[in-house]
Amino acid sequence: MNEVIENGVPIPKRESKYAVLEKLEVGQSAVIDVPRSSSLSKTIAILQRRTGRRFKRQRVADQGVRVWRIEPAQAPPEPAPEA
């Protein structure tokens, strides 16, 4: 078997099958065709933890799962100090 050693061959970038989630702006949504939403749910949880972005998802009959990018939850205001 002839094996060739090469230099300078770039490693191809691997795009996530859910890359569209990273492109969504607040108020936008996308339908993602997935047989089971467990891997999508895991991807959303990771994105939310890493980026602070928030998403809402809902299964759409015969289409897949619709995912919305939503506003991050606002922290409740801190109570005023007592005088």
Q: What's the pLDDT score for residue 73?
A: 66
* CB of 21 closer than 8 Å to CB of 67: yes
Single pTM value for the model: 0.67
Task: Return the structure tokens found at 22.
Answer: 């990273």
pLDDT of residue 35: 74
How is the chain split into domains, by residue range? 28-70
pLDDT per position as a tens digit, 7-62? 999 998 887 778 899 899 999 999 998 877 678 889 899 999 998 899 999 988 88
- Answer whether 62's CB lies under 8 Å from 31's CB: no
Nearest to 57 by CA among 74, 69, 72, 46: 69
Paired residues of 64 in beta bridges: 60
